[in-house]
Structure 1
Amino acid sequence: MDAEEQERAPSAPDVDATVLLDALPDPVVVIGTDATLRWANAAAEAAFGWRRVEWLGRDLSELVHPDDLSTALLALESVQGKPIGELMEIRVADATGTYRRVELRGRAAVQLPGTGGVVLSVRDVTDRRRWELAAGDHTALAAVLDALPTIALVLTPDGRIRSTNRAFTRMLGHPLDDVVGRPLTDFVTIASTLVLSDQLLVVADGSGRVSFEVEMLAADGSTRPTSLTIVDLVDDGAVDGLVATATDITELVDARERLRHAATHDDLTGLPNRPSIAQHLRAALADAEADGGTVGVVLVDVDRFKAINDRHGHMVGDAVLVEIAARLHDAARDAGLVGRLGSDEFVVVCPGATADGVERVIDMLHWAMRTPIEVAVDRAGVSVQIRVGVSAGSVLGAPGEDPDELLARVDASMYRSKLRRRAKR
């Protein structure tokens, strides 16, 4: 090129090479001949979370996965005598200590002042490799899905089953050929159909994810309490539908019922406990206020129960209470709620009862205790017969009356009855 042509040729911008490298979107690092990091651009800093001042001077062995260190050194050697090195894949630690999988290629021809090493172009391929591994392991993934104890489904946006795993058959007994193509609502109870349909509408309205409980129908007609989660992946090109999981929660539901029963029932006798009695009494009084009726309440106290405990021991005393509870319940269950108020006191709540009706209930309770209670006292089968009497008081609750005040009134009535029984002896 002559002088005239040189004058006409466009001149290169007067920009430092490091500035250009710093503007690149992909990470670029410079490794010195001593295998230490000499320089890194802004993209490298962003990709790996390191501040450049923290990287500079660090040895490759501190950054590269130990199993990949020899590969990294080979990448540096591969540029010797070549314009560009071989493409290598290694794992490099980010600022959190997590190893990222990267592709890198070295170039020795770039001249940067003060580097004296190799420039490496780096590309993070962690996510790409994950997808490649997943795609290559499709058969294993399908086997894992079929082995899961939880039902996994892909649904159309309107809730039809496009595919499911073998857990559907194991849990509910329906052959897969009879399941695919049918609405999921075909496999839940009528009551749960409304719940499921409503939740599908919630997902369609953009909630993205819903979790709720339904009763699923097994092939034999039985039901399974099930926790169902539906996730909206309609906009995901790989799915183009809804993904759902269904988990059998029979044990969880049973545990809930046991906890609920324990909270509302007496451990020893199985009768409703004091909080449950109070709740039932409040409801009965509210109903009485609405229809202008009354509520009969009977309080039963076991006569001389302390003497039974003192003579035979608490185990025999407990057995006596269990038998008394059973007899009182059988005698008065048609009249209302029979519960244990505490210790040796029992209550019968009789909604809508009249004064005469309450007296008939008391007569039935006394009749139930007419025969002695037989209780085993040792493992050899020796038993004793204990004759037990009860004292009973009663009141009629007025509409709007406070439950605690009503229980206090019936307690006073029972105490008067006990005094009368003692006076007759």
Structure 2
Amino acid sequence: LVVMDSKPMHDPLAMSAILQICTARASAELERTESDAERHKLSSAVEQTADSVLITNAEGVIQYVNPAYERTTGYTRAEAIGNKPNIVKSGQHDAAFYTRLWDTIRRGEPFRDIFVNRRKNGELYYEEKTITPLKNERGEITHFVSTGKDISERMRSEQEALRVQQFLNSVVENLPNMLFVKDAKDLRFVRFNRAAEELLGYSRTEMLGKGDHDFFPKDEADFFITMDREVLNTGELMDITEEHVHTRHRGTRLLHTRKIPILDERGQPLYLLGLSEDITERKQAEGMLARLGRILDSSSNEIYVFDAESLHFIQTNQGAQRNLGYSMEELKNLTPLDIKPDFNRENFEALLAPLQRGEQEVLSLVTSHRRKDGSLYPVEIRLQLSRAESPPVFVAIVQDITERRQAEERLSYLAYYDTLTGLPNRPRLLERLQQAMVDAERVNRLVAVMFLDLDRFKVINDTLGHHVGDALLKGVAKRLQACVRPGDVIARLGGDEFTVVLANVAHMDDVARVAHKILDSFVQPFRVDGRDLFTTTSIGITIFPFDVHDAEGLLKNADAAMYHAKESGRNVFKFFTSELNVRAERRLKLETALRQALARQEISVHYQPQVDLKSGRIVGMEALARWQHPELGQVPPIEFIPVAEDTGLILPIGAWVLREACRQIKAWHETGFAKLQVAVNISGKQLLQKDFPQQAQTILRETGLAARYLDLELTESILMVDTGAAAAAMQALHALGISFSVDDFGTGYSSLAYLKRFPIDILKIDRSFVRDLATDPNDVAIVKTIIAMARALDMRVIAEGVETYEQLSFLRAQGCDGSQGYYCSKPLTADDFTELLADWKRLSLGKCRLEK
């Protein structure tokens, strides 16, 4: 435990060195602390330290943990106290480990080691831990204090790098580099490393707390101190290319020393850090490196050395030459760009830049190498810049990971596909089904799930053998694939059970037609091992969104319907419930009522404000169609809009909504409210009418609304249908001054190609990405990307479905232009919206405030 000055040090290496020194003194300092003020200081240090601290009694029962312990383990203080430290025991250590631990601390000695523990959530983590016994005045152990540092990331990095960096670690470990730290006030040594002890011949105990004049001749000591003072006075690094030092046993050595000032937050020197290389051993080091070079040359890994400026290869080992098919002479005329097809000069130099700037010591990446014959193979690369060479060079250690990649691909395949038929398995099916449901909701289509079970398959399998049964299952898979479209899904769930997912279905008749086609495909016998096998199938069918709204529920329903089909005589298909008939009747009733809705003035337009996130002002609104039927009540748009689309009623309804919205916003303008813009949704059928631009121009002229105040909202799917006609219509409308926005952006095609092709002014972030901004990092990344992309394309961004201050605050911080959602207002009638406009100043300071 260390109590340190609150002023930050300017060099992480020095801070690490000082922390190591002070940590060794922490236990003794705790016993020497007498006053309440000192106890309070130490208590605060314990509470605020980034390392976990745990205190137990002599029996090992936890009596205290600090906040860092809670963060590291996931256990709260209340959960930990009263338990024993083994609540985080992982089972990764054997009994001998714990025997050694207890033997050590019961002798009154500290125990230090790296522990593999388990957090409350089950995750393993590595902790560098010291357990120290505390004794009373009689020398009896009363407590144990455990301090630990979570080094999980470091351990994972070390383990990952171990294979390819063993030779580098060996070189680094044997480099005779001396490190020392001096106190800036009196230039006494406060830190020494092992290399310094070996080089100078003095132990740390002898050196610490003393100065240069205690060990070196006066002229040497004076020189060292003069250089030290200059470094501390200037605050700049000093590179002393040569300096002599007298050692205890090895005579005079020649050092290359760098001296670095460690400053506090005010720029005042705290310590001086010195790094010295004994360059008298350079010849010996070169010999050692030559021996290592011979060893590495025969390594199966590829080793490359290339110039840091020209990037030309200087040296490679036999492994590199063997794998690439080039000789060393050929490689000297090449650069890494010649064997790395994924890189060009610009992005490769950008990759190297952090190493050249000293921001990273080692860079790891996975890419491909191209052999002399043009073939490619995957590689894992560890790259390091060596400044010891003149000029500097890059050293790359490369491992051919072809076998590992093949194994990973095989494991991935086994995780998602049936090994017998090659069809998707249950996990893959659920993924595809979930996506099909999302796509169907977006375009108001259906998804059919068929559950198939072969009739009397068990008889064939048991009678003729499993090899015949397997061949039959393969034949069934091929016939099913011939019955569906390329985008549909066929999966084998196990045994003789298959599932078919029909995505993007327009009508129920399409589902029945495919079911009949599957049943007909079983009429012809299956030819297996020279014999004809006859089998049929029973099919259960369920429909999304009519039955349930989750993938597992759909499979369950289809399974139940399949058993009903078997009970009905086999070789038939059955739908899950008779509710489909009820829904068909309701759809017919809706269609009939919708044909009269406009004439009966049952359709109205509601308006939802769009708020500028910089000024907090209302800058526009979206016009939303609503249908209030005297008998059916409020019919949701998601229900009547598809009916209107299918029947063609969307054209008169859409035209009426467009006219009404333009008329109303013009009325607001004339009343004296701000010049607001109205956004009106239009369907693909509206847009692709040959005279739609003329229709829009007529409505604007007759209502007196300037074109710049009209924004037409389109979905991404509309832009993908007859793109030529859509682009022509949009260009004509845009020329009038009408703007365009893409509704529900990110849930459809989200292609940069159409963003460039069509005259789009606004992107509207779909509410599904806004809803979970506070909890889903994927949504955060998507929203940030959309905003950044829109800014790059000079488009505005409006987020839909904003319901909380946290969502609004995040969007505002990311530079989103506007928001729309229940946080500020639900969709309102024209009269209510008029009141909203009149009272907006008060509301914007209250419910719809931008800042708390």
TM range, normalised to the smaller chain? Answer: 0.5 to 0.7
**Residue correspondence of structure 1 range 164-243 to structure 2 within 5 A:** 164-165=315-316, 166-180=318-332, 182-190=334-342, 196-205=348-357, 206-234=359-387, 236-237=388-389, 240-243=392-395
* TM-score, normalised with respect to structure 2: 0.32
In the alignment, which of 152, 155, 176 is matched to residue 306 of structure 2? 155
The amino acid across from 1:154 in the alignment is V
Taking the aligned partners of 1:187 and 1:423, their CA distance within structure 2 comes to 59
In the alignment, which of 249, 266, 278 is matched to residue 122 of structure 1? 249
In structure 2, what is the equivalent of residue 253 of structure 1?
405
Query: Per-residue deviation at 1:146?
Result: 3.6
Answer yes or no: is 1:326 the counterpart of 2:473. Answer: no
In structure 2, what is the equivalent of residue 297 of structure 1?
449
In structure 1, what is the equivalent of residue 535 of structure 2?
388
In structure 2, what is the equivalent of residue 421 of structure 1?
569
Taking the aligned partners of 1:411 and 1:404, their CA distance within structure 2 comes to 11
Taking the aligned partners of 2:555 and 2:302, their CA distance within structure 1 comes to 52
The amino acid across from 1:148 in the alignment is S
Query: Per-residue deviation at 1:185?
Result: 2.4
1:284–1:198 Cα change, 3 Å: farther
SS at match of 2:541: strand
Larger Rg: 1
CA contact (8 A) 2:307 2:391 kept: no
1:408–1:300 Cα change, 3 Å: same
CA contact (8 A) 1:298 1:358 kept: no
Query: Per-residue deviation at 1:210?
Result: 1.3
The amino acid across from 1:395 in the alignment is T
SS at match of 2:500: strand
SS at match of 1:269: coil
CA contact (8 A) 2:313 2:336 kept: no
SS at match of 1:410: helix
1:423–1:128 Cα change, 3 Å: closer
Deviations 1:233-291 (A, max 9, x none): 23x24672221122211111100000001111123322111111001111111222233
Query: Per-residue deviation at 1:390?
Result: 0.9
Answer yes or no: is 1:340 the counterpart of 2:492. Answer: yes
1:46–1:180 Cα change, 3 Å: same
SS at match of 1:247: strand
SS at match of 1:155: strand
Query: Per-residue deviation at 1:226?
Result: 0.9
CA contact (8 A) 1:173 1:219 kept: yes
1:45–1:139 Cα change, 3 Å: closer
Deviations 1:198-246 (A, max 9, x none): 5323333411111110012222222111111111223x24672221122
Taking the aligned partners of 1:216 and 1:423, their CA distance within structure 2 comes to 55
Taking the aligned partners of 2:411 and 2:280, their CA distance within structure 1 comes to 49
**Residue correspondence of structure 1 range 25-44 to structure 2 within 5 A:** 43=201
1:333–1:239 Cα change, 3 Å: farther
Taking the aligned partners of 1:290 and 1:405, their CA distance within structure 2 comes to 20
In structure 2, what is the equivalent of residue 411 of structure 1?
559
**Structure 1: which 5+ residue stretches go unaligned?**
1-24, 26-41, 48-120, 377-382
Deviations 1:303-343 (A, max 9, x none): 12222234334443333223322332344362512111222
Query: Per-residue deviation at 1:149?
Result: 2.3
Answer yes or no: is 1:371 the counterpart of 2:524. Answer: yes
In structure 2, what is the equivalent of residue 356 of structure 1?
509
* TM-score, normalised with respect to structure 1: 0.61
SS at match of 1:352: strand
1:362–1:227 Cα change, 3 Å: same
1:150–1:423 Cα change, 3 Å: closer
CA contact (8 A) 1:297 1:348 kept: yes
- Detail structure 1 runs of 4+ shifted over 6 Å in the superposition: 127-130, 191-195
CA contact (8 A) 1:308 1:317 kept: yes
SS at match of 1:348: strand
Taking the aligned partners of 1:152 and 1:208, their CA distance within structure 2 comes to 17
SS at match of 1:278: helix
In the alignment, which of 282, 287, 293 is matched to residue 439 of structure 2? 287
The amino acid across from 2:311 in the alignment is R
CA contact (8 A) 1:394 1:410 kept: yes
SS at match of 1:221: coil
Deviations 1:80-101 (A, max 9, x none): xxxxxxxxxxxxxxxxxxxxxx
CA contact (8 A) 1:159 1:200 kept: no
CA contact (8 A) 2:337 2:343 kept: no
Taking the aligned partners of 1:192 and 1:226, their CA distance within structure 2 comes to 17
CA contact (8 A) 1:168 1:176 kept: no
1:171–1:318 Cα change, 3 Å: same
> What is the number of residues matched between the two proteins?
306
CA RMSD of aligned residues (A): 3.7
Deviations 1:11-68 (A, max 9, x none): xxxxxxxxxxxxxx9xxxxxxxxxxxxxxxx946559xxxxxxxxxxxxxxxxxxxxx
Taking the aligned partners of 2:443 and 2:515, their CA distance within structure 1 comes to 25
CA contact (8 A) 1:153 1:161 kept: no
1:289–1:422 Cα change, 3 Å: closer
1:197–1:252 Cα change, 3 Å: farther
The amino acid across from 2:471 in the alignment is A
Taking the aligned partners of 1:184 and 1:199, their CA distance within structure 2 comes to 12
Taking the aligned partners of 1:159 and 1:421, their CA distance within structure 2 comes to 78
SS at match of 1:123: coil
